[in-house]
Amino acid sequence: MAKNDLLGGSLWDQYSNKVTTLMNNPHNQGEISEEEAAAEGHKLIVADFGAESCGDAVRLYWAVDPATDTIVKSKFKSFGCGTAIASSDMMAELCIGKTVQEAVKITNIDVEKALRDDPETPAVPPQKMHCSVMAYDVIKKAAGLYLGVDENSFEDEIIVCECARVSLGTLREVIKLNDLKTVEQVTDYTKAGGFCKSCIKPGGHEAREYYLVDILADVRAEMDQEKMRSAADAGAMGDFESMTLVQKIKAIDSVVDDSIRQFLVMDGGNMEVIDIKDSPEYIDVYIRYLGACNGCASSSTGTLYAIEATLKEKLSQKIRVLPI
């Protein structure tokens, strides 16, 4: 059946050929019986997982060689949409030949990428990405049953975006490191919120404990407090010209973080302070450009003048900035 016969044109075209093929002709759909597994000396594992947000459910069957912990056979039953069937089929396929410990490392992103026709084109529309999330959860459940441990023990981080498997710690670190100010920037840098979008803010297809809008607001508030403390510390140090070398570097870094770095990062660049040397006439600040700033034509003209002017205004008119 042609794609356009099933769904209206553009939406259906967002599904890869692999997905549409496996929707109707899954390779690994079925059951593994206790008798079948026992006859071959394997241990049978049956795990169920259901997604309350959409009503889809999947049952995963493993026949595991207990001597090596290797998954010899993997089958599934899926109760849900065509995307859930295709995702479950690929999930079962990826398990075959792996040890149980290796299978736990399979993520929904691995499943989605394996369903792509080419590496750069997503296999499903963003709103259907959640269908592959079940893969990771049911694998964890099966592994927990086999190893006799709590399935949650496989998760050592708080996952905010289930689709892209992005943790709370990663999000906080990336926001701070790159001075991100919008959720769109967070998505660009981490892919969190780029698929089903439920983790962006309340009101998505399922309730979440953490949302990007709240995480971003909290981290930005922490960053603002840190800048205020740095500014206060710099003020407490007294006159810039009488500071020690370490104090001068801290004061310059504070001004760069507060007033300069974000503009460099927006253009794909950055900078770092290498050294500071005092003379009767100047306080020479040696910097190194990073990223796109390195070799940029304006790095020795407009950008350099802007950095120097800001440091002079904030700290001392004796400052002279020299790139190396």
* Measured CA angle at 113 (ends 108, 116), to 5 deg: 135
DSSP H helical ranges for 256-321: 261-266, 302-314
Work out the number of other CB atoms within 10 angstroms of the CB of residue 160.
Answer: 25
**Nearest alpha carbon to residue 103 among 45, 143, 157, 156:** 143
For the record, the structure tokens of 290 come out as: 């990073």
Q: Rounded to an integer, what distance in angstroms lies between the CA atom of residue 302 and that of residue 313?
A: 16
For the record, the structure tokens of 6 come out as: 């099933």
CA 288 to chain centre: 29
CB-neighbour burial class of residue 166 (10 A; exposed 0-12, middle 13-18, buried 19+): buried
Work out the number of other CB atoms within 10 angstroms of the CB of residue 123.
Answer: 26
**Nearest alpha carbon to residue 191 among 213, 176, 171, 205:** 171
**Nearest alpha carbon to residue 161 among 182, 186, 181:** 186
* Measured CA angle at 113 (ends 46, 201), to 5 deg: 85
Place of tokens 């499903």: 124
Active site residues: 54, 131
**Nearest alpha carbon to residue 96 among 67, 61, 130:** 61
Q: Rounded to an integer, what distance in angstroms lies between the CA atom of residue 130 and that of residue 172?
A: 23
> Does residue 72 sit in helix, strand or coil?
strand
